[in-house]
Structure 1
Amino acid sequence: MKKIFVNIGFGILGLILVLLIVGVIYENLGRRNAAQNFPPPGKLVDIGGRHIQLDCRGSGSPTVVFQSGLDWAGSLSWSAVHDEIAKTTRACAYSRAGIMWSDSHEAPQLAKSIAEDLHAALKNANEKGPLVLVGHSAGGPYNMIYTKYFGADVTGLVFVDTSHPDQISRFKALKALESDSTQLSRELEWNWSVFLYKSAAALNWTGIVRLVAAMDEDGDQTDPNDQAVNAYSSTTISSVLKENDAFEQTLNEAGTFRHLGDRPIVVLTAVPPVPKQELPKIEKASRENFLVMQEDQAKWSSQSQHQLVHDTGHYIQSDQPAVVIDAVRSVISKVREK
């Protein structure tokens, strides 16, 4: 009997070993195919031993620089608006360290280092200011921190449903509206999600991340940009998690700089469709608080416009690109009038 269990154990270990070998081969082939099938748009800029992917199009001044949110798509986040802005002026989208085609680094993904990476990439690529910074979601705080350190280059900003420096503290305060059981359920769900993502990042060499991403594809109907994001998902995930780990620090630093002087800015705020059923109290309060914070952002400059974008999701640049294009062009016009 004991021998049978030993044989079963060896069989299971052998199967696991075979699966790991197959997974490693699958991952390595996937990375090679990704490099062949989805080369970086624009160029890879050397910033001193590492490379940052920078995709600049068009000509003119000011130069618009797109900053993606805390997601996997990097410069591709702006594919629906990039070319239209390039018809008006120089327009650059880029991918932060470790995202898509950009090289990763071992240090924590702190906002100041992100600003320094972008500054170095623009300088080494000979992309000159003045700059109009356009940020989505976490890209808003990143752009504020860039302006804090390199403000002489920044002449205008566009905030696309961006994060606010106070949002974590404000949303923590809203937890009082939930029952203890609901709070516990949310915390368990969040902790489990973080555990799964970090486990996947640690095991990306086994091909598991690439396999899950491939299973999400919708056959031949998948958008080429989505295919590219999936192709680089296994190498991108670790850097996205590093940014997420540093997100509270990012907001804290962004909160130290909230004065943009007379730089023209536009704040775009997504207003999701009103659900048929009444929203739970905490979700309703969250929406109200978010709107208050968006209105606060519009006060950071003496030349500001706040626009509510109705019936859209968080990614306004994808759901209603014309709104983002108009906002960016508006800031460009005001900058040129100075």
Structure 2
Amino acid sequence: DDAITLVPYTEPANGLSGLVPDWEQVDVGLFASLDGDILIIQALPAPAEVLLPILAEEFGVDVAPGPQATRTINTITWQIYTDTSGTEVIHFAVGQSEGGIAIFVVLQGPNAADLRETVFAPVIDALIVGEGSGAPPPGVSPETTSVPPTGADGPPIDPPPTPGQQVLLAPFVDPTAGFAALVPVGWTPSMPGVVMSADGDTLTLRVIDLPADAALMQITAAFGLGDTPTPVGERVINSRRWGLYVGAVDGQTAHVALGALEPARTGLVALSGPNADDLYTSVFLPVVDIFQLEVSTPPGFTGTPGSGTPPPVTQAVTFPEPPGQLIAVNGHRLHIDCIGEGAPTVILDAEWSSWSLELRPLQQQIAAITRVCVYDRAGYGWSDPGPEPRTAQQLVDELFALLNNSGESGPFIIAGHSFGGLTARLFASQHPDLVAGVVLIDALPPEFALRDDEFIPILPAPFIAELETLRDVLSEALVPPAVALDVVPDSALPPGLPADLADTYKIQFLRLQHIEAVLAEATALETSVRQVNGTTLGDLPLIVLIAGQDRPEGWRDTAEALAELSTDGALIVVAESGPRVPVDAPAAIVDAIQQLITP
């Protein structure tokens, strides 16, 4: 036999360093020879006694008789096994370090028997847990990189285990959500906490900031668990009780586990796809058994997210408590936030896809002259989703109930921006006794969207398509709030948004209920336009603000005509502003409101 060349190895992602054969590295801690032999080296923040039976089942190793050998070196105590899978030998070792890190080394392949002393044993003896600097471990010289073969085989195993499909699992860590688990090697990440196989199977790992019962209700639809899901079994491990469920996604089996990690935090493991049943014991159950909320870090190690031992767990990110009140309105709750003193009170209604947080800077400026309220339409911000269709009439009915139930006293100045102008106009036309004045802020003119009574789509189709794709992904992925902090760029933040509100805005951007609310209003837009078209405002004081820049052809003429909705209407062109007038020219809105307060 030829000598086997071993080279120094360090891997910050799993916090290990040592020696490995000079084979191709195909993934973190995974090496393959040209002859088809595979070496796996991984670490996981879990007790070795917990890891051992799970990995033994995964690799088909019989550990019931106990290890064939034990060895303590470099402060790691190893249990060593040898078994067979079909015609191939498997060398398998699980070690426990003093830092609480469990390590496993697997050597499998057509030549594994001959490589026991030349690869498997030297790799175990050289492994250390630590930061890893690129240097070999203590006692290993860079020049001494070959070990002569001995040809020694492991002890024979009789009878051999039943051959089975091998699925390699590797450590996975989500430091922002604060959990560690295992995922199959070679599966492709599609979103944080979601990996997919080449055959179309999907593994989803999440921490949901809800008690287990509430978390179950949240995921029922996503995984097809039925109206009244009941567990098909339980699994208790590491002092955690997991409920096991079976559902369906796109006609294919979905295995789902929910475990109470803390009183108000629940772990989710879901496996769905064409091979979900076959992967139940080799993927689903091992992932459930290893899943843990708290992860530990060896001294001095600063790992990288995604694999291996994680950095210190960060504070879990959640959607913050509402700044205002949640008011019951026709079976759901709407959020309203009012500040300032004076009368009349101003009600601000945001543009399509926008919500109260984006109007916060404008609200604070208006609060210097009178009381002002921002609210979230159903599904936006802190408001619950509402009944569909989300037409202008539905929004007006909900706004009327919200103001009536909130205790805010009218009459009000209703100020609507863009799409919110439809609601403001319809509300004022139907409830003139509650309205002291109207400000239409670059409001959508129904006449612009209706040409000879034919509806012209005015919302950007590519953006709608992106939202639909995002909705489909979020429906299955259950993206934790922390992911939004990395995915949503700062460039998406509204100009002028206070820095302390940036994280809240990003989290909202990727909330499923927000995406669904935006799409629901878009779906009902034609109906909304037709409901508002033709309404007038009598003699209500009205100021129409029109953006002077970046408006489509034909907008200016139809927008100017809005000032004629009232016999007391006025038109102001905000020359320096584009369509986002609350951001570009908030002073123009404050001045218009001041004119209505003190005509």
Measure the CA separation in 1 of the matches of 2:317 and 2:406: 27
For the 8 Å contact 1:130–1:153, the answer to whether it is kept is yes
Moved more, 310-319 or 126-135: 310-319
2:394 is paired with a residue whose SS is helix
Give distance in 2, aligned partners of 1:121 and 1:218: 33
Between the aligned partners of 2:525 and 2:330, the Cα distance in structure 1 is: 25
Change (3 A) 1:39 1:217: farther
- 1:201 is displaced (CA, Å) by 1.2
Quickly say closer, same or farther: Cα 1:146–1:213, change in 2 above 3 A: farther
Match of 2:529 in 1: 251
SS in 2 for 1:101: coil
- Which of 400, 406, 431 does residue 150 from structure 1 map onto? 431
Contact map agreement 1:68 1:78 (CA 8 A) in 2: yes
Judging changes above 3 Å, is the alpha-carbon distance between structure 1 residues 7 and 145 closer, same or farther for their aligned structure 2 residues?
Answer: farther
Distance 1:261 1:146 in 2: 13
How many Å apart are 1:169 and its aligned residue?
2.7
Mapped to 1, the partners of 2:598 and 2:539 lie a distance apart of 14
Q: Residue 157 and residue 195 in structure 1: after superposition, are their counterparts in 2 closer, same or farther (change >3 A)?
A: same
Q: Secondary structure at the match of 1:21?
A: strand
Gaps of 5+ in 2: 1-164, 168-183, 189-193, 211-264, 266-315
Q: Is residue 242 of structure 1 aligned with residue 524 of structure 2? A: no
Residue 95, structure 1, aligned to residue 376, structure 2: yes
Q: Shift in Å at residue 192 of structure 1?
A: 4.9
The correspondence of residues 247-326 of structure 1 with structure 2, limited to 5 A, is 247-257=525-535, 259-272=536-549, 286-287=552-553, 289-326=554-591
Aligned-pair identity in percent equals: 25
Q: Secondary structure at the match of 2:358?
A: helix
Residue correspondence of structure 1 range 123-202 to structure 2 within 5 A? 123-170=404-451, 191-202=461-472
The 1:122–1:15 alpha-carbon spacing in structure 2 relative to 1, beyond 3 Å, is closer
1:268-326 CA-to-partner distances (Å, cap 9, x unmatched) read 111127xxxxxxxxx8xx33x11101110011112222111123221111111111111
Q: 1:54 to 1:171 in 2, by over 3 A?
A: farther
Distance 1:156 1:15 in 2: 54
Paired residue secondary structure (2:361) = coil
Q: 1:295 to 1:33 in 2, by over 3 A?
A: same
Q: Is the 8 A contact 2:208 2:480 kept in 1?
A: no
1:2-59 deviations in Å (ceiling 9; x for gaps): xxxx989x9659942796413x448988xx7333xx3212111122431110011122
- Aligned twin of 1:278: none
> Would the aligned equivalents of 2:195 and 2:204 in 1 still touch at CA under 8 Å?
no
1:215 matched to 2:487: yes
TM-aligned CA distance change 1:215 to 1:148, over 3 Å:
same
Is the CA contact (8 Å cut-off) linking 2:418 and 2:443 kept in structure 1? yes
Match of 2:204 in 1: 21
2: CA distance, partners of 1:15 / 1:57? 46
Aligned equivalents of 1:19, 1:27: Cα separation in 2: 22
User: Following the alignment from structure 2 to structure 1, what is the Cα–Cα distance between the partners of residues 516 and 499?
Assistant: 24
Cα distance in structure 2, aligned partners of 1:242 and 1:213: 25
Q: 2:338 aligns with which of 56, 80, 86?
A: 56
Q: What's the counterpart of residue 86 of structure 1?
A: 367
State the match for 2:317 in structure 1.
33
1:42 and 2:324 aligned: yes
Equivalence for 1:277:
none
More strand by percentage = 2
1:279 corresponds to = none
| Structure-1 separation of matches of 2:436 and 2:343 | 11
| Alpha-carbon offset, residue 191 of structure 1 | 4.7
Q: Could you tell me the TM-score, scaled by structure 2's length?
A: 0.45
Distance in structure 1 (CA, Å) of the matches to 2:372 and 2:530: 29
Q: 1:213 to 1:112 in 2, by over 3 A?
A: farther
More deviation in 52-61 or 83-92?
Answer: 83-92
Which structure is larger by alpha-carbon Rg, 1 or 2? 2
For residue 240 of structure 1, what is the amino acid of its counterpart? V
Using the alignment, how far apart are the partners of 1:324 and 1:53 within structure 2? 23
CA distance in 2, matches of 1:123, 1:152: 13
Q: Which amino acid aligns with 1:203?
A: V
- CA 1:246/1:209 → structure 2, altered by over 3 Å: closer, same or farther? farther
Aligned to 1:311, the other structure's residue is in SS state coil
Aligned residues: 298
Looking at structure 2, the residues matched to 209 and 301 of structure 1 have their Cα atoms a distance apart, in angstroms, of: 48
**Which residue of structure 2 lines up, in the alignment, with residue 183 of structure 1?**
none
The structure with the largest helix share of the pair is: 1
Structure 2 counterpart of 1:71, from 353, 377, 384: 353
Q: What secondary structure, in the 3-state scheme, does the structure 2 residue paired with 1:65 have?
A: strand
CA distance in 1, matches of 2:558, 2:365: 29
- Would you say the 8 A contact 1:65–1:132 is kept in 2? yes
Cα distance in 1 between the residues matched to 2:452 and 2:361: 31
Conservation of the 8 A alpha-carbon contact between 1:141 and 1:251: yes
Q: TM-score, normalised by structure 1?
A: 0.77
Partner residue of 2:506?
A: 230
Q: Is the 8 A contact 2:538 2:565 kept in 1?
A: yes
**Which stretch has the larger CA shift, 214-223 or 38-47?**
214-223
2-structure distance, mates of 1:222, 1:84:
13
The letter for the 1-side match of 2:521 is E
2:224 aligns with none
Superposition deviation, residue 250 in structure 1: 0.9
Partners of 1:65 and 1:42 lie apart in 2 by 14
- Closer/same/farther in 2, CA of residues 171 and 200 from structure 1, 3 Å limit: farther
Larger deviation, residues 314-323 vs 210-219: 210-219
In structure 1, what is the Cα distance between the partners aligned to 2:369 and 2:498? 30
Q: Is the 8 A contact 2:389 2:520 kept in 1?
A: yes
Report the Cα offset of residue 92 of structure 1. Answer: 0.8
- Alpha-carbon separation, structure 2, partners of 1:225 and 1:171: 44
Distance 2:365 2:195 in 1: 53
Q: In 2, distance between residues paired with 1:164 and 1:107? A: 23
